[in-house]
Structure 1
């Protein structure tokens, strides 16, 4: 049923209209043009044309003031443009040419305009710029389309409102300008689009010249526009959930939960419903339920995040063959399984349903819905969820995929970083295992992963006297803590302390700690000193409260410095800075070697960094290995060590604690074998002779020059250890070639090293790095 009433549509436009240009002429002329084209509708069309003529003769021209006199015409227009099925529920109306005043429409249209409609602005679309005013946008589109021959698509407008139940709803407003004409007041202005040429994103300032050339006051808009609201809740929610999935990392968990639940409630048209969505994956054949986008899990709360030690058979069987679980929904729909009914009842909820979510036939998660109190779910409510299941399933799949990716990242970073150079071998072994497993009745084991005849390249960069520096920082910080404690105790009125025996005992402990901090063997007492300040001191300070007002002030001063370890923090910060420089250079060395021949690389972090490269034909069988590469790689090792030493030297002024590094290279002339150790998830040397390489490598960092007390490794120098005479002359040539680059001095020390347990015949070369 149509009624007439003038309502300003401030939800759409920021301006009002006095109704100028309002006319039935365009609609009347359109009908006259159509008349005679369709025998079925000709009679109806002629009736509408005749009635408009009669009404205008009797009432005059249409205006906002005379609109009530044209009620019958508006009813005919409504019937003409809308099919019969829509007439009862359609929110439809007619407005001024540029929609600012609605003067006739259906009851549902006027009811919709009574809501506080908030426009949903899509910054990805729009005519010129993301901040364009809606009404201006409409008028510019009409001018360009009708007068300049530039086709424009006037997109529907989306609005959000809160209905009577307090639920967010979304509607789409379509504006039909079929019966609106546009004409210039004078000559048609020329426009210049050069201001928007070659711009990636148009801002309002960019298009200002264009807007000025199309001044809207120079155009007249005549006729009437038609408005129509349609429910867009489901489509909007589906689109927004898809966008949320795409931008998942941009949300906090709370924001994501709240936004998703609001949208599900909008579709269900029910405010007092709770939901949770969580993914499922299988880890080593065991179903793992993972925390999803809400925390109020019900039926499966005991098993979230892999807590499956005591999983019940009923739950396990359900996970193997899931189905829709329902309680207090409908007698024909409700679950009859006594276990689940009892468990749901024990949770004190009114109604409950759990939907398995499957992606391409594979279970990826569950969606739970439940209500409490007097509120209930019902089959009609649940059917509204049907359009959301595809996107919710996609969300479950995405959550599962994200967890699996994180899981793989953790494994690769912390357990077995399978580098590209050797991953092919693991793939080969796994594929063979799977192939054999198809035809085997007994349990098979993965074959041992071994690489034979590979050449090791070892290097180590260590921070000189790092243990001494760490202990010194520990002593300084704790000496400061002790001095502050002694100062605090000087304010203690001992005669008022309630337990003199305890006070004397604590004073003796203070004297003992002071003695520990003064000895050269304070490293032996680190644990006792730390325990004293972390456990005994806080307990003692608590007993001092309220003994004296001045003492209380000093306690607050003392408390301000608790936990402050200035010297230790300075040491750790400096060490981290040094290791960053070392790691960066070793990373560049790795990039260089990998670019020449795929190789296996391991790095070990201490107070410095050690590394191993393993290079050989078995690492990459598809690429021919030339042994001459070894000399190139060892030369690059020397260059890397020289650069590290120089950069650390240049860094000294920026370090809170001065630190020097020693550089060590070990050249093992013969090939060895390495195998993957399942227990330690890394490669290690294989066989007795090969183990000798590891033994030498671990002992030479503290080796002395024979006949002296001098260590081989020294700051500002590169030490190269080699066993036997064969490699010495080649290494000297390599060192001289690096010296020609200006990185090291050309004088090469040839040194004999002390014998180590089980190792003899070690030689060394040493050079100074040019700072």
Structure 2
């Protein structure tokens, strides 16, 4: 034990701010109180210490700290009674000081050496708060606690960070002051405090001004001594530092730097370095962004040694299959022969290297590297110090992974919009290379074009039979209704108001009724709309405003032309409801059906709305490079295409009873056996074919919907039939086998036709197969009936479209 006096504020001149005396009177009173209640053997020890203090009468009075050196044996007895018996004073940071800590007069050797060795210049956190202010806070904290049971001014602990000169690591200590042996007296009557007002001063950080005014220290006296203890809290402080990095959401370089520094302090070994390697993936394959997440020694060493990425990835993939802790205390030639990655580490100056797997919710999230340029043995003691940090590092890695995925999704939506899973993997790779090139800088690099080569195309079209004719018929019928009601309104107005202009408009109206039967173009429709907008509607509005007796006639007409409910739109509404019903049901069928198709082999499926529904399918090796492609999958999808067309024809026929405007569909397939190349057009956000020969395929499929049979004025596509257009007779042979099979299975009638087709613009040599769909007579078609609310919703949507 040490009785040398330590001046706490040795380098600063501090005015004492309260009357204070060092004495052992509070301890004496404490011992007397314990002797009245203590029945164990401790009572003898208390009695012995009490008698010794009373015998040394000087200890009962106020005493100078420097004079206590003569009473070392008594102080050692006090130490014994105030500390656990089994504590070793060489490891215990413990001391006695004046009531307001200014002088330490008795301490353990460990405490004395700590204070002597910790040069303030090595202090980590520089506290700019004046010593006088900190002392005032300490004094008022005790006063408010003792007299007012108020304890929120300041904590009685101080966290002290200090750089260890030997290890160069930061160590953290918790300094606590125990004042239970400090008596406080007040001269006079204790003032009352307004704690609501005091609370406001705490918030404004000027509570001391308030307290000095309402609770002046000149009326207080402190008597006794304080106990100071110091605890090494480096481990907990390091863990808190890692947690703070997570809370602050700095997941990349800045957070990694803080975490690595905390891990060094946690280890207590200045020779150790740490690396962080989250497992970022693109298409379930590991990628490493060494520019942004460069805190991995292995990644940086591999890049510096120009190690092929595939070799590196294979090593990590192999590790992921069997993740476990790896410890290499000293890298030697034999180990390098077995594990090539150790060579690049040794070239980077690494002598020992260890890897610890890091998990998040039981899933491997990355690894923690522990390495050094010295030989280091990772023991249980070090692992136990690192263990509390592992869950937090796992959380950090997970945040990192989520940020990376969010960045990928952001570029995906910006450059390509949402994509099908079957092709998204290739876009992910393009995005990854785009991010690497830009590396978080201004986006100066254009993203590469995504291309799939040697893809087999399939095209199908479900068209609504005579949709243009039906639409024109509905329009003419609606215009007849409109003009008929307009004629009635004008005649009613003529009976009530005598105006020459009424006859003129009525004449034009009758003329338009005659012309409606021969309405042939959108130009005629535009002229009629111009007549109504420019002449009729202003006339009706003025008549209604100036001649109130005409209001009923005018209002009746305007009710007729309301798109949502008016009779002048009834036919078009019914037609659009019918068309949407077919398109919705067909689209839903294709979506469900193609989802099952993807299970056999991934393919790209794109569906488009026209008057009916068209779709493109592309299948080939490049769309799923990890799954061997065989023509068997192409045959399977062609057979699916035929069977799905039959099911769609049956579905459409079953919907006729549900449609307010009965419509029929035709089913068309374009057969193309040669593989083509497709690429994604970033400007139009869709796939398109590449090359002159491939473009010919695109031209043909856009023109065959209206192709005629050679030497006949008959369209190839007909209701209740499936038509297949082709160039090559060999293609027809394959499909004829499918048709024969499907005829036996009850899909097709026995009426297969082989047809030659008329030449199209720029296209000749086309032929076709056509076969009738066999409907199920003994089994009622399963039809999804729309609910009244669904039909109402469709009608409102259509009316809105018509208004626009």
Q: TM-score, normalised by structure 1?
A: 0.51
Cα-to-partner distance string for 1:716-748 (whole Å, 9 max, x where unaligned) = xxxxxxxxxxx9xx98xx9xxxxxxxxxxxxxx
Cα-to-partner distance string for 1:623-667 (whole Å, 9 max, x where unaligned) = xxxxxxxxxxxxxxxxxxxxxxxxxxxxxxxxxxxxxxxxxxxxx
Partner residue of 2:329? 328
Partner residue of 2:176? 174
Q: Residues of 1 paired with 2:70 and 2:110: CA distance?
A: 21
Deviation (angstroms), 1:104: 0.5
C-alpha spacing 1:441/1:59, structure 2 compared with 1 (3 Å): closer
Q: Do the aligned residues in 2 keep the contact of 1:280 with 1:290 (CA within 8 Å)?
A: no
Deviation (angstroms), 1:386: 2.4
Deviation (angstroms), 1:344: 4.4
Partner residue of 1:51? 52
Is the helix fraction higher in 1 or 2? 2
Partner residue of 2:372? 371
Deviation (angstroms), 1:61: 4.9
Q: Residues of 2 paired with 1:434 and 1:282: CA distance?
A: 28
Q: How does 1:233-272 map to 2 (within 5 A)?
A: 233-249=234-250, 253=253, 256-272=255-271
Partner residue of 1:391? 392
Partner residue of 1:65? 66
Find out whether 1:102 has 2:260 as its counterpart. Answer: no
Cα-to-partner distance string for 1:384-441 (whole Å, 9 max, x where unaligned) = 32232222222222222222222222222332169xxxxxxxxx9999799959xx97
Cα-to-partner distance string for 1:569-593 (whole Å, 9 max, x where unaligned) = xxxxxxxxxxxxxxxxxxxxxxxxx
Deviation (angstroms), 1:83: 1.4
Cα-to-partner distance string for 1:185-215 (whole Å, 9 max, x where unaligned) = 333233334545667x723447633442122
Q: Do the aligned residues in 1 keep the contact of 2:256 with 2:295 (CA within 8 Å)?
A: no
Q: Do the aligned residues in 1 keep the contact of 2:331 with 2:352 (CA within 8 Å)?
A: no
Partner residue of 1:5? 4
Deviation (angstroms), 1:374: 6.6
SS at match of 1:298: helix
C-alpha spacing 1:280/1:66, structure 2 compared with 1 (3 Å): same
Deviation (angstroms), 1:159: 0.4
Q: Do the aligned residues in 2 keep the contact of 1:130 with 1:203 (CA within 8 Å)?
A: no
C-alpha spacing 1:309/1:323, structure 2 compared with 1 (3 Å): same
Partner residue of 1:91? 93
C-alpha spacing 1:233/1:309, structure 2 compared with 1 (3 Å): same
C-alpha spacing 1:170/1:346, structure 2 compared with 1 (3 Å): same
Q: Residues of 2 paired with 1:431 and 1:96: CA distance?
A: 83
Q: How does 1:24-35 map to 2 (within 5 A)?
A: 24-35=24-35
C-alpha spacing 1:22/1:202, structure 2 compared with 1 (3 Å): same
Q: Residues of 2 paired with 1:367 and 1:417: CA distance?
A: 35
SS at match of 2:203: coil
Superposition RMSD in Å: 4.9
Q: Do the aligned residues in 2 keep the contact of 1:256 with 1:293 (CA within 8 Å)?
A: no
Q: Residues of 2 paired with 1:282 and 1:433: CA distance?
A: 31
C-alpha spacing 1:131/1:448, structure 2 compared with 1 (3 Å): farther
Partner residue of 1:592? none
Q: How does 1:610-625 map to 2 (within 5 A)?
A: none
Q: Do the aligned residues in 2 keep the contact of 1:6 with 1:64 (CA within 8 Å)?
A: yes
C-alpha spacing 1:198/1:140, structure 2 compared with 1 (3 Å): closer
Q: Do the aligned residues in 2 keep the contact of 1:287 with 1:319 (CA within 8 Å)?
A: no
Deviation (angstroms), 1:447: 5.6
Partner residue of 2:457? none
Q: Do the aligned residues in 2 keep the contact of 1:326 with 1:335 (CA within 8 Å)?
A: no
C-alpha spacing 1:258/1:151, structure 2 compared with 1 (3 Å): closer
Q: State which of 105, 115, 119 in structure 2 corresponds to 1:116.
A: 119
Find out whether 1:400 has 2:394 as its counterpart. Answer: no
Aligned pair count?
A: 457
C-alpha spacing 1:198/1:50, structure 2 compared with 1 (3 Å): closer
Q: Do the aligned residues in 2 keep the contact of 1:195 with 1:210 (CA within 8 Å)?
A: no
Q: Residues of 2 paired with 1:51 and 1:409: CA distance?
A: 79
Q: State which of 588, 596, 601 in structure 2 corresponds to 1:443.
A: 601
Q: Residues of 2 paired with 1:73 and 1:23: CA distance?
A: 13
SS at match of 2:365: strand
Deviation (angstroms), 1:171: 0.6
Of 304-313 and 358-367, the range deviating more from structure 2? 304-313
Q: Residues of 2 paired with 1:94 and 1:15: CA distance?
A: 20
Q: How does 1:353-364 map to 2 (within 5 A)?
A: 353-364=354-365
Cα-to-partner distance string for 1:255-289 (whole Å, 9 max, x where unaligned) = 54544333222222222332221211332121233
Q: Residues of 2 paired with 1:116 and 1:448: CA distance?
A: 73
Q: Do the aligned residues in 1 keep the contact of 2:331 with 2:351 (CA within 8 Å)?
A: no
Q: Residues of 2 paired with 1:401 and 1:429: CA distance?
A: 35
Q: Residues of 2 paired with 1:434 and 1:46: CA distance?
A: 93
C-alpha spacing 1:683/1:38, structure 2 compared with 1 (3 Å): farther
Partner residue of 1:80? 81
Cα-to-partner distance string for 1:129-166 (whole Å, 9 max, x where unaligned) = 99993222211111111112324573411001122312
Q: Do the aligned residues in 2 keep the contact of 1:351 with 1:371 (CA within 8 Å)?
A: yes
Deviation (angstroms), 1:7: 0.9
C-alpha spacing 1:270/1:53, structure 2 compared with 1 (3 Å): same
Q: Residues of 1 paired with 2:57 and 2:293: CA distance?
A: 62
Partner residue of 2:353? 352
Unaligned runs of 5+ in 2: 420-587, 613-677, 689-697, 704-798
Q: Residues of 2 paired with 1:357 and 1:429: CA distance?
A: 45
C-alpha spacing 1:408/1:186, structure 2 compared with 1 (3 Å): same
Partner residue of 1:186? 188
Deviation (angstroms), 1:30: 1.5
Q: How does 1:648-687 map to 2 (within 5 A)?
A: 679-680=680-681
Q: Residues of 1 paired with 2:43 and 2:336: CA distance?
A: 59
Q: Do the aligned residues in 1 keep the contact of 2:23 with 2:59 (CA within 8 Å)?
A: no
Partner residue of 1:752? none
Partner residue of 1:506? none
Deviation (angstroms), 1:310: 4.7
SS at match of 1:146: helix
Deviation (angstroms), 1:684: 7.0
C-alpha spacing 1:121/1:175, structure 2 compared with 1 (3 Å): farther
Partner residue of 2:273? 274
SS at match of 2:317: helix
Q: Do the aligned residues in 1 keep the contact of 2:286 with 2:313 (CA within 8 Å)?
A: no
SS at match of 1:86: coil
Of 17-26 and 234-243, the range deviating more from structure 2? 17-26
Q: Residues of 2 paired with 1:93 and 1:265: CA distance?
A: 30
SS at match of 1:164: coil
Q: Residues of 2 paired with 1:110 and 1:429: CA distance?
A: 84
